[in-house]
Structures are given as C-alpha cells and as structure tokens.
Structure 1
Amino acid sequence: MYEEPYRWVEAVGNRRQYLDAQFAQGSPVVGVSCDQGILLMTMSKGTPKLYEIYDRLALGGMGHPADLEKLRFTLLEMAHVEGFNRSASDVTGSRLIKYGIAPVVKQAFEEVFKAPFIAKLLLGELGQKAGKDGFLTINYDGVFEEKNRYAVLAASSSVEQRMVEYLRPQSCVSLKDAVDLAIHAWAIGDRAQRHTDDTGGDPKDGKGSSDQPVADSQTLMTHIRQCMQGKSIECVLLDRHVAGTSKYRTLGSGELETLLPKDLSSALT
C-alpha cells in the first residue's frame, strides 16, 4: 500500500521521458506580435499545424496529428458554445486554456493507465490594438504560461529558451519584421533540436544543445533552405486591419515571397 504513491511518481516520470522523446523530431512553432497583428509560423510536411479557433484566436501545435486535431476540435467547440451562450467578447484565450483545455490535458497526463496527449499548444489572442496582444502556451502535462510579444514551442524547455533569447532583445514593428524574426527563431530551435538528437542528448534537459554556438544569419538561412526541400513554410496572421469579425488569414506563397528574406523567397517557386 505504501509503495503505490512511489509507483505513481515513477510512472509519471516514465511518461515524461516517453513524451519528451516524441517531440524530438517535431517542428517548432513561433508566435510574434507586430503592428499588423499576430503572426504564427512553423514548417510542415503537409499536415497543417496552425488553425483558426475563433474570431481573434489562432492555434499552433506540436505533436501527434490525431491528438492535435482532437484538442483543436475541443477548443473550437468550447469557443463557439461560449460565444453562443454568452457573447463573442466572452471568448478569451485565458478562459479556454485555464478553465477548459488545461484540466483535460493534465488529467490525461496523470492517469497513467490511459494514453496522454502527445501535444503542445500555443494560442495567440489578438488585442484591440497593438501592444495588447497575448499568447498562452500549454505543455503536455497541462502546465500553461501566459506571454506577450512572442511565444514559442519546441521539443524541450532548453531549446525554447534559446529561441526566446533570440527574440527577447528584438523589436518588431512591421509584418515583414515579424516574418524575419519568426523564421530565424524557428531555425534556431530546429537546429538545436537536431543537434540534441544527433549528439544523443536527452531532449528533456536539452543536453548538448546548450553548448551549441549561436549560428549566424547565413548559417540559419542555409538550414532553412535545406528544410524547405522536404517541408513548406506555414504562416498565418491574425490581422487587426481585416474588416469583419474573423481576423484569421493564411499568408499564401505570393505574399510570403515579398515578406521572406530574398535568399529564401526564391525557394518558394
């Protein structure tokens, strides 16, 4: 009887190791706020990882496509029920994450005889004006954090820290600035994940990635071009200047071509 709590702790620890390993090959997600709105960016092999949730809410995710789809549908349903029963202004990222999806993810993680969600989520919420935008991230164990200006998802906290260290001192005004920042931050995260995996480091602690030197812009661009041979850049914008209630729109290849650095725009064609 006295061994049961220790067995549970051990089981939870094993689940963390298993889940951390599942994200090692995932594509990081970057969210950046700018004057025009909120940009979410990642790279994918065909299955979308960025979604519209409600009028001023967009979602980015890492993990198993089936789990991401299930959580996306749950958020969609919660948002529209809330909007119908109350009002559109009552549908906020804070309510959806804190009182809705976080308890569900936490319960699934801690019930060791059931499968957990192999998913990490980033929710961007467009403010009424620049400077009022917000982000929420939620880990596979249900732990959530509120951010402003930017937010990231990556395989481990150490990789996320490297991406944040790049974003923190940067200023972002235009949409072009946001795309440039996001693509560089994504490359920093993806390179760090690959370095950790290649050196046999534990994705949980990022062993190996913390000692990797910060790459210069040209090295990052080379890495992105190599990734674009098998993946495509996925960018969406919560555009505060769009008329109507829904602010979500996808940045197509034509628009991206004008926003990406010149040595990347040619790779879109």
Structure 2
Amino acid sequence: MDVQSCQDILENLYDGLYIVDRDRKITFWNKGAEKITGFKNAEVVGSYCWHNLLKHVDCEGVSLCSEMCPLAKTIEDGVMREAEVFLRHKGGFRVPVFIRVSPIRDSDGKITGAIEIFNDNSPKIDLIQQIDQLRELSLLDPLTRLANRRYAEIHLQGKIKEMSDCGCPFFGVLFLDIDHFKKVNDEHGHDVGDEVLKMVSMTIKRGVNGKGQVCRWGGEEFIVVIPAGDIYMLQSVAGSLRALVEQSCYSDGRHEVSVTVSVGATMAVSGDTVESVVKRADALMFQSKKMGRNRVSI
C-alpha cells in the first residue's frame, strides 16, 4: 500500500485522528476530528497542541494541556496512553472523548512525534428518534433541545413511585442556575444569550453522559435527575458539572462569553413529592448564590 492510500484511509476514519511532530505541532487532522470537534483542518494544521485549542480537561475541570498532557508525556517517554477526557467543541460546549496516544518513531527508533486517536464517548443511542418522540408529546424545549419542565415533572413522578415501591432512596436531584445570566443578555444581546443557554445545555448533557436525565426547568434553570447510591456520588457529579460549565466558552468571533452555574443538590427521601424534592434542591441552589455563586450546596 502506497503512502497516498494510507493517508486516504486515515483521512476517512470514523474516529478523530491527529498527528504532531516532536514539538507538538499539528501536521495532520482528519475528517473524523473535524466532525467531533467542529474545527476544520485549515483552522488546526500548523498550530501547536499547547496552544490549547481543544482545552482538554478531566472530569473535575482540571486542564490537561499545560502540565498533564498525555501527548507530551508519550513523546517524552514513548509509552502508549489511554484516557477519558473532555475536549472543548468549537461551539463552546464540552464533549467527553476517549483518547489513545502512541509515539511515532523513525527507522532508528527515535521518537519523532505522536498520533492521537479519539472518539466521542457520548452514549450511542438513537437521539433523533428520542427527540422526535419528545417533540410529538410536547416534551421538548425548542431552544436547547433538552426535555422540558413538563417532562421533568413526569420523570420525577416516576422515580418517586419507583422509590416508594422498593422502599429505599436511589436517586438525587440537581438544580442548576446560570450565574449573572441577565448580564449576558444585557451586554451581548438575547441572540448571544440563547447561544450561551445552548452551550450550557450541551455541556451538562454531555457531562452527565447518559447517566441521568437533563431537563430545562425554565429560563436559565436546569434540573438533572441522577441515579445515585449516596450523597457522595451525587456531590461528585454536581462538582464535575459545575467545573465543566466553568471551563466552557461561547465564541462567535465577536463575542466570547464564559459563565458559571450555582448548584443545589439533594437526595430524594421517603415521603418526597415532585414539589418537595425540587423545592429543596432549589433552596440549596439559592444557598450557593448567597455564598458567592459558582459552587455546589448539598
């Protein structure tokens, strides 16, 4: 197989793939990488991965590109690596990806660069079918394409009935509110405000990664219903979502907007109703606001 044939295969892989040289300059960026990240080949090739274009973070929102970059470590020691991380899509939201990094060596065995393959780690479900069903039942929020408040209430009612039937709490509720959202609308306009809402929605949805139900409660408020065995598991999910939103950013070339969220988190308990568990999570969210915002109260 000639070089051109090999390049054509790499170019058309379903997975994202990019190649860097010893200095971590990006020399190849395939169509799979374009699809997953939103960044075109011409926007990326020739730049350096330490320019932090994708701004990889772990589940706690800690940046990996400056000090803990798997790509840089593999170039240094030649060890293959795998990791589950979140990259920043061109749209500003976070995407969970599974990455695999391998060194590239010349004929003498010297490391000349590295190759990273990554794929979207979001749950592989028929989202189009789910969206059509929600739309048909008037349960879809038209802006964010999340389930709406009506669906959240139905879903919570079902979870409370399950809890009552089995006699033990097994889920928690997160109430998230975007901090200073009115300021975003006032300074940048409602069109940008809508894009920020969509960015936060996608970040939360991808952050939950199919392990809970995300709904738009109204305005800049979101509800997440999480299967959780205990308060510590709930706290871990809430902290991760808070950090991922903080590390996200919307940009359209004229505006660059980052926001944070205040979070209230509570386990459902025996005797709860939809109203009581949401009211408790809402009160905890306001506690986060009073304590300075961009935090979790649980």
Please report the TM-score for the alignment, with normalisation by the length of structure 2: 0.29
Please report the TM-score for the alignment, with normalisation by the length of structure 1: 0.31
Higher relative contact order (CA 8 A, sep 6+): 1
Larger fraction in helix:
1
